[in-house]
Chain A
């Protein structure tokens, strides 16, 4: 490839190509801006090669085409390529970088998108952490307190929903079984409210306990609970007491 003195110092990348797009000569800028190649298509990103072959043809019109070049560090650069054929045998080709304004806006958009993505990712991590904490809270909302050899006190905390009951149910049954408790006291004093799905699960828990032969007492019932609790299975052998004190006193006899 010889250096053509008349195009060497032009302020744009300029090439002289033959029919097969071999680079016959190029300007200094063309050699510093792009990767080294002996054929024009070698300067281009893979997506642009076919386009160059198709449009850099004497039979085509002289309309400029957009092509993506690769820098020596493999960074893509979009340029408008103007081409003029001389007698169909060799072509003068000039690559004009895209308006800087366009490049800047495009880079800005990419940056914004990346930032949104990062934020999204951080939020996702936070959400996972919150989910774990929530699960912890659920597990802690029905602690099993051993009063003596026979009795287990289970205060329910906060709003009781299906998810919470599903979380605590197996643990309560396991506790009752392992500690061989004969009587379980549910204290609802700190329970906020129970929703219909939570009640279904609570009912299931009470039924399971009955089958295990455990006596059930429920205490600390607030009027707002009472409205819901009357939907419980009527066949249940559960006793209701006004306060925990009463239950404890009854059992002490």
Chain B
């Protein structure tokens, strides 16, 4: 199955067929490959089809819902019980309605033993702050698919500075591959272009934590 074929299945709206196909794919591939090589390109392809005036917004919504269902159905939550590697709180910027990326990010964190609070897209800054005070996450992940949302990065970064203890801020999503975020990086944010780089980041954090804990 190619990602284009998967995009067609999503557009057909057949949820169970899509899930069966994906489960079959998972027999010989990892979850990471599914997210990176199948779901992400399939959804980009669907965006492209809208750009080409082949499909309508309604088709796009349907495909998104099917993809959402597939991610949820293949997400292995029990894994998170084994060890507590850290706590992540993830959300989309205010005005940003794209949420599939967040769900994939949540899966990656969970697979590495993290507890994840996915607060969903379109989260106003005051709600985000309130939740952060309550949850005290180690990491706050922000996702933006639309470039137009990125000016908000500074606002969110400033708000996070007020928190104690101060979590690490990760910024990801399609938009970060399109613009320069060196200002946010200078303030300590980590910009991640793909799920792969997120995984590398989680891994390197684990290693540096282990070193810090080692007796010698």
Contact = CB atoms under 8 A, between A and B. Distances in A.
Contacts of A110: 97
B129 interface: no
Interface in B162-187: none
Interface size class of A (residues with CB under 8 A): 20 to 34
Interface string A56-73: 000000010110100000
Nearest to B146: A46
Contacts of A98: 57
A46 B147 contact: yes
Given A46-B148, A74-B95, A106-B61, A55 B53 contact: yes
B24 interface: no
B81 to A, nearest CB: 9
B119 interface: yes
A114 B120 contact: yes
A66 B120 contact: no
Nearest to A63: B53
B117 A66 contact: no
Contacts of B119: 117, 121
Interface in A54-96: 54-55, 63, 65-66, 68, 74, 78
Given A106-B61, A117-B118, A66 B146 contact: no
Interface in B38-56: 47, 50-51, 53, 56
B54 to A, nearest CB: 11
14 contacts: A46-B148, A47-B47, A51-B51, A51-B53, A55-B53, A63-B53, A66-B56, A68-B57, A106-B58, A106-B61, A114-B120, A120-B118, A121-B119, A128-B115
Given A66-B57, A78-B57, A102-B58, A124 B117 contact: yes
B146 to A, nearest CB: 6
A50 interface: yes
